[in-house]
Structure 1
């Protein structure tokens, strides 16, 4: 049965006055909604049911389901760059970490997301949020130098659907790339973990380097060909001191976790 009325104790939406203070306590999964949008109306009973079923567990896991009404708190939603409704996001005390992008949005998938994210130690590492990425900005010329065998160290390189990212921590709007923002945080973790192994990291803006990205098979990062399809950043490793067979695409598909990429870079370099 779906709830029509809010259950007892169901919290009021956060607003500009209490948003930051609430965020300072643990993790929050926040539903940014408009009371007028059909998808939001569809989500409302699911959200209430999720909150009710999870409320005891939420105290143990220190992760809370919260909402923001973007009609009443329009400035707050503007500050948070909310572009469509409903937008469900994970926040820690430092701010926005990642979006919840699974469909359909069900009580089960929301609770699974909450459990998974509460167990990820990186989400509560607020020192990480103030730390800087070690990734170097690569112009097309720089990348071609690496491919030509001029590098003395291996380089793990990420490719992005933008032309504006000089620093990989930059706050940017990515079109049709729901995963780009969360991967910026993942990429920072990767860059800092690989720096310990003396493996360099770099990032390439595909919109400014269309030929390179298309030749690598990352044409969807150059321009949007299908507005319904979501894009995601790509990653490849360039080995040093070799002029051929020195480029390896990350084989496992996108992940928001750093371990697979770090392991891939270390293993591929060691095996070479």
Structure 2
């Protein structure tokens, strides 16, 4: 029951935030244009769970400022889409990767704090 509740809470939080949940079908087409910050995570990872509110706050605080600059936020569930995570060389959770016009530009250094992520996103 706890797992079901956690899954429901994750889905609800994602729907409320309106950032893009990327999957094997949508990843390439979505990230081909604009700049993307993509969170790779595992729903069972304690570090991913701890990071979720930080990610949500960065998105919520900056979405209006970044939308005109074509900066988007997305997330990939590595349990569900392992191949996407392997392609991006994800070796731990959570990891935030920057994409520019579909090209992986690498992990956001120190990208697990609000300050680092917000400053990085605002600099795009």
| TM category, shorter | 0.7 to 0.9
Q: Relative to total residues, which structure has the larger helix share, 1 or 2?
A: 2
Q: TM-score, normalised by structure 1?
A: 0.39
Mapped pair 1:31 → 2:39: yes
Name the count of aligned residue pairs. 113
Shift of 1:17: 0.5
- Which residue number in structure 2 is paired with residue 100 of structure 1? 108
What is the TM-score with the length of structure 2 in the denominator? 0.81
Please provide the CA RMSD for this pair: 1.9
- Tell me, yes or no, if structure 1 residue 112 matches structure 2 residue 119: yes
Whether the 8 Å CA contact 1:61–1:115 is kept in 2: the answer is: no
| Structure 2 equivalent of residue 72 of structure 1 | 80
Give runs of ≥4 in structure 1 deviating > 3 Å: none
User: Which one has more relative contact order, counting CA pairs under 8 Å at least 6 apart?
Assistant: 2
Query: Does structure 1 retain, via aligned residues, the 8 Å contact 2:17–2:56?
Result: no
Return 5+ residue gaps in structure 1 as ranges.
119-272
Higher strand share: 2
**Structure 1 residue 72 displacement after superposition:** 0.9
Larger Rg: 1
State the secondary structure of the residue aligned to 1:85: coil
Return 5+ residue gaps in structure 2 as ranges: 1-9
